Amino acid sequence: MTDRGRDIPAPPARWKRLVGEDGIQKWVFYIPVVFFILFFAAPMALTVVWSVFERTQFWMEPGFTLFAYENFFTSARAENYVLSMLHAAAAVVISFVIGFPIAVFIRRRVTRAAQHRVILLFILPFMISELVRVFAMRPVLGRNGVVNSVLMELGILSEPITVILYSPLGVIIGDVMSFLPFMIFAGFLALEAVQNYIFEVCDDLGTGRVRLFADIVLPLAAPGIFAGSVFIFVNSMGVALVPTLLGGPGAVNAGLIANQAIVALDFPLAMAISTIMIFTLVLLLYIGHRLFDLTKILEPIS
Amino acid sequence: MTEPAAKAVEVVELGKNYGPVTALKSVSFSIESGRYYALLGPSGGGKTTLLRLIGGFLRPSAGRIFLHGHDVSHLPPNRRPTSMVFQNYALFPHMTVERNVAYGLKLLRVPASDIRDRVDRMLAMVGLVGYNRRMPHELSGGQQQRVQLARSLVLERDILLLDEPLASLDAKLRKDMCLELKRIQEKVGITFIHVTHNQEEALTVADRIAIIADGELVEEGSARDVYETPNKRFTAEFIGDNNVLEGTVSDVSATGATLDIGFAKIEVPAPAASISTGERAAFSIRSELLRIAGRDEDIGASWQVVPARYVEDVYLGLTVSHLVQLPDGTEVVARVMSDSGDNGRFEPGDDVAVGWPANRARLHVA
Ligand SMILES: Nc1ncnc2c1ncn2[C@@H]1O[C@H](COP(=O)(O)OP(=O)(O)OP(=O)(O)O)[C@@H](O)[C@H]1O
Ligand SMILES: [Mg+2]
């Protein structure tokens, strides 16, 4: 290195001071920090700040008022918000019940070479516009939809069931359909890190299916399940499209409440709702941490 | 097959194919109870396959496996009297050392106080007293293997299977662990079957060694026999540092045979296999038995001596390898202890003689 350095003219002094001997490498480390501040911390801080600004006719002006929060908590919005959390939680639970066994199946029963191809299949739906994907649920779940006609043809139903569309249940079904792959990916990735030896040791010890799942698979996949759950929860609360298309009159989630505020040009209210969402999530993470010790769950498993 | 004196392991014409790949051809052998048995051979020879068949992790394509006289060919691993120690990464990463070892007993519904006693006793046995609360990632590779050993031994099954348990350890630690394994085996007195491709490891731990190559059992015998008097040419080439020379059998007598290797006729003791005149054969002689001397020196009365040209010496630490070339161009190696006065006597190109005790050469039918 020193040999080659001799032929290269020395860089100008000022450039040298800024970059230093190993300066480039040093600065590269800060790029993620800059990213974090620019695209993550700053917008969040602005959201909080703007939520206490005064509302004007078309925008807002600096000031301090808790009017937006008062508006939120004294209207039906607060109640809808809580309902939205419950629906999101239901979507998480259903996604786990359906998605995690799929992840386990792919890891344990599909040959190694085919595993990633199978996982890729679950990405395919994401190639379709979310709008189209969610909209396509309507002819499936509707009064004369696929589900009802099949069940009636089979004689299982005499009347079409109507609670599965334009209802809270419809929203939950839509959320599960939209976000289920996240549980499959996250669960599979966590399980992929588990050595095959581990399963062979279980065969050797005679761990039955139930114990294998409860004692080995579930704890080892916990970080993945947790990541998938957070993702599904946040999306179920925040993606306005699903209740708009599948929820029917009055169905909202947190994202749709914020959307409606923006449409009404009430920006401080939209910001307040977003702020409440941020704090809700932080609070849930904190509770999760106290209950399960997340650092332990997320600790690198070596 | 069910008499009380039945062998710990008896394998009959065992074969295994992975699709079109034949990993094990048709292997038959048996292991007596309480032995430390090594399966030694080159990579891809089928050692792991054989061990996994015994442990029940693979289904045989042909043949049967008897453990203590019972046909276990159709039983899953936990219903066999075997337990497996894997090469690496096989501890439950989310359980402490103690829970790792206790887990098998918990599945057997052993009372908690018994479990604690037995776990502590096993951890003491493998030299891990006080490590109960450590997590696997807080242990060194050697310590992790000790925990695996404890986890298997605590089940008190009769046969312990070890698949390259020391492969990821450094040379020094591997040597220590070898002696440790042997000590533990002697203490618990159960049968150990240890797979390795490292001959030093096999010679250190094992009472008996089976050489496995190309899906076949090449040779089986006590560690000393396999090292000192291998029957098969493959064994001679694989274990130790042997010189192998080929020739034609020119004479057969009651006590030995004469092998014509072109420039000399070599007397070799009687081989295990019957041979006849005119057959192609080879003989092997361990390099540490060879001695190099001047052309007119008298090496010894019962020594077989052939002329050679000195090539070079290579310093290997404990020993020095002296390379000489025989009249037909083949090179042979004589190994001498580094502190012996026999080093440095010859220059490259010198005419020398190389000899060995005639009764120490072994004949191999090619
Ligand atoms: N799952 C498998 N599918 C196909 N072929 C396999 C499989 N496992 C092993 N083989 C083949 O079977 C043969 C024996 O393999 P095995 O693992 O038993 O060898 P080994 O003696 O244990 O080698 P090593 O010392 O490298 O571990 C090899 O040729 C290997 O390529
Ligand atoms: Mg192997």
pLDDT at B299: 79
Per-residue pLDDT of chain A (302 residues; tens, 9 = 90+): 444 445 555 555 565 555 555 666 777 778 888 888 888 899 999 999 999 999 988 888 898 999 999 999 999 999 999 999 999 999 999 999 999 999 999 999 999 899 999 998 988 888 888 899 999 999 999 989 999 999 999 988 898 988 889 999 999 999 999 999 999 999 999 999 898 999 999 999 999 999 999 999 999 998 889 889 999 999 999 999 999 999 988 888 999 999 999 999 999 999 999 999 999 999 988 887 777 666 655 554 44
CA of B36 to the centre of ligand 1 (A): 23
Residue with the nearest Cα to atom 5 of ligand 1?
B18
pLDDT category of residue B2 using cuts at 50, 70 and 90: very low
Choose, out of B103, B110, B140, B148, the residue to mutate when testing the contact with A (most A CBs < 10 Å). B103
Atom index in ligand 1 nearest the CA of residue B48 equals: 22
CB contacts, 8 Å: A208 with chain B: 107
- In terms of CA atoms, which chain A residue is nearest residue B76? A203
Whether A39 and A81 share a structural domain: no
Whether A154 and A196 share a structural domain: yes
CATH 3.40.50.300-classified regions of chain B: 7-233
b/e burial code for range B104-128 (CB count within 10 A of at least 16 → b): bbebeebeeeebeebbeebbebbeb
The CATH architecture one would assign to domain B241-364 is Beta Barrel (2.40)
Q: Domain range for residue A37?
A: 15-50
Residue A65 falls within a domain, yes or no?
no
Q: Is B45 close to ligand 1, i.e. is its CB under 6 Å away?
A: yes
Residue with the nearest Cα to atom 18 of ligand 1?
B46
Whether A175 and A119 share a structural domain: yes
CA of B45 to the centre of ligand 1 (A): 7
pLDDT at A299: 57
Whether A106 and A215 share a structural domain: yes
pLDDT at A2: 44
Residue A24 falls within a domain, yes or no?
yes
pLDDT at B365: 81
Whether A101 and A147 share a structural domain: yes
- For B183-201, what is the mean pLDDT? 95
Residues near B132 by beta carbon (within 8 Å), at least 6 away in sequence? B96, B97, B98, B119, B120, B123
Q: How do beta strands B9-18 and B21-31 pair?
A: antiparallel
Whether A19 and A109 share a structural domain: no
pLDDT at A21: 58
pLDDT at B60: 95
Q: Do residue B78 and residue A301 have CB atoms under 8 angstroms apart?
A: no
Chain A contact for B136 (CB, 8 A cutoff): yes
Residue with the nearest Cα to atom 12 of ligand 1?
B23
A197, A216, A302: residue with CB nearest B86: A197
Tally of domains in chain A: 2
CATH number of the structural domain spanning residue A292: 1.10.3720.10
| Residue A230 falls in which region: left (phi positive, over 0), alpha (psi -120 to 50) or beta | alpha
Residue A4 falls within a domain, yes or no?
no
Whether A31 and A170 share a structural domain: no
CA of B49 to the centre of ligand 1 (A): 6
CA of B195 to the centre of ligand 2 (A): 7
pLDDT at A157: 87
CA of B170 to the centre of ligand 2 (A): 18
CA of B83 vs chain A CAs: smallest distance (Å): 6
Q: Is CATH 3.60.140.10 the classification given to domain B7-233?
A: no
b/e burial code for range A77-107 (CB count within 10 A of at least 16 → b): beebbebbbebbbbbbebbbeebbebbbebb
Mean pLDDT of chain B: 91
Choose, out of A194, A196, A201, the residue to mutate when testing the contact with B (most B CBs < 10 Å). A201
Which residues of A lie closer than 8 Å to B, measured between beta carbons? 195, 197-198, 200-201, 203-208, 211, 215-216, 219-220, 300-302
Q: Do residue B137 and residue A203 have CB atoms under 8 angstroms apart?
A: no
Whether A42 and A140 share a structural domain: no
- For B230-250, what is the mean pLDDT? 91
pLDDT at A248: 84
Greater model confidence, A127 or B162: B162
Whether A89 and A162 share a structural domain: yes
B86, B88, B155: residue with CB nearest A200: B86
pLDDT category of residue B256 using cuts at 50, 70 and 90: confident
Nearest ligand to the CA of B52 is 1
Residue with the nearest Cα to atom 28 of ligand 1?
B44
Q: Do residue B84 and residue A200 have CB atoms under 8 angstroms apart?
A: yes
Atom index in ligand 1 nearest the CA of residue B195 equals: 22
Whether A132 and A209 share a structural domain: yes
pLDDT at B89: 80
Nearest ligand to the CA of B216 is 1
Q: Is B44 close to ligand 1, i.e. is its CB under 6 Å away?
A: yes
pLDDT at B366: 58
- pLDDT tens per residue across span B281-318: 899 999 999 999 888 888 777 889 999 999 999 999 89
Residue A230 falls within a domain, yes or no?
yes
Q: Is B20 close to ligand 1, i.e. is its CB under 6 Å away?
A: no
Residue A2 falls within a domain, yes or no?
no
Q: Is B15 close to ligand 1, i.e. is its CB under 6 Å away?
A: no
Whether A142 and A102 share a structural domain: yes
Whether A142 and A280 share a structural domain: yes
Atom index in ligand 1 nearest the CA of residue B42 equals: 25
Q: Is B49 close to ligand 1, i.e. is its CB under 6 Å away?
A: yes
pTM of the model: 0.84
Q: Is B197 close to ligand 1, i.e. is its CB under 6 Å away?
A: yes
Query: Hunting for tokens 């404890």 — which residue is that?
Result: B150
Residue A235 falls within a domain, yes or no?
yes
Residue A158 falls within a domain, yes or no?
yes
